[in-house]
Amino acid sequence: MAKQSDPRLIERFLDGEIAAFEELVRRYEGPLVHFLMRYVRDPMLAEELFQETFVRVYKKAASFDLDRHFKTWLYTIALNLARTAIRRRRTREISLEADYGGEKETSLRETLPADIHSPEDLAAGSELAREIEKAVQSLTEKQREVFILYQYDGCSYEEISKITKRPPGTVKSQMHYAIKELRRKLEHIKNYEL
């Protein structure tokens, strides 16, 4: 059986076929969780955001324009949820230098492992992967969004423009500056080409 298009799966779901919705979830679970993981840097939060994204898709499927690209719509929802989650997290952050409590005078920073990386970096065990990830995370939020969507999720500039609601020229400019900044931050690594 040939792979059905995303709009066709939405149509089938709207006609009452839950299996069609489940197929959309399976189709996008890996790429979307991967994107959210890179964006929010928290596996549990990424999983929650993935689920919330598909809850919204489930509730709003009837409003989806079948002439649009489903992937663009899906990533727009996920990106907006991720941005909101990060804003909320920033307002609730605890100072790492504050007294952690307990008998000893220690800060929360002193109780954390010195070197925390994503599960992907730990699995890869690659110093290069850690350096690249560190450099990517140091980009401005807008540059990081564009870079992750382009480099890791394979979105075109046009798709990124629609997802982020920025003009294509702005997206290209942000990608240009992201790569320029990454090259600068990674210039100490020999034989690395962006």
Taking only the tens place, the pLDDT of each residue in 36-56 is 999 998 899 999 999 999 999
The third-level CATH classification (topology) of the domain covering 1-93 is Rna Polymerase Sigma Factor; Chain: A (1.10.1740)
Tokens 């489903």 belong to: 70
What percent of the chain stands above pLDDT 90? 55
How many Cα atoms within 13 Å fall on the side-chain side of residue 86? 16
Q: Is the predicted pLDDT of residue 75 greater than 80, yes or no?
A: yes
Average pLDDT in the chain: 80
Q: What pLDDT does residue 151 have?
A: 87
Distances (CA, A) of 93 to 40, 86, 114, 118, 172: 14, 10, 19, 19, 32
Mean per-residue pLDDT for 70-85?
94
The one-letter amino acid code at 138 reads: S
Contacts of 129 (CB under 8 A, 6+ apart): 120, 121
Return the pLDDT at 73: 95
Any idea which residue has 């075109």 for tokens? 156
Question: Is residue 145 over pLDDT 80?
Answer: yes
Same fold flag, 1-93 and 125-189: no
Q: What are 82-136's pLDDT values in tens digits?
A: 999 888 876 544 333 433 333 343 333 343 344 444 444 444 446 667 788 888 8
Is the Cβ–Cβ distance between 36 and 49 less than 8 Å? yes
> In the prediction, which pLDDT does 159 show?
92
Section 1-5 average pLDDT? 83
One-character DSSP codes across 20-80: HHHHHHHHHHHHHHHHHHHHH--HHHHHHHHHHHHHHHHHHGGG--TTS-HHHHHHHHHHH
- The domain segmentation of the chain, as residue ranges, is 1-93, 125-189
Structure tokens at 53: 């994204």
State the pLDDT at residue 135: 86
CATH 1.10.1760.20 at 125-189, yes or no? no
* Total-model pTM: 0.65
pLDDT in tens, 156-193: 999 999 999 999 999 999 999 998 998 888 887 655 55
**pLDDT, tens digit, for every residue of 51-72?**
999 999 999 999 999 888 999 9
Of the two residues 2 and 24, the one the predictor is more confident about is 24
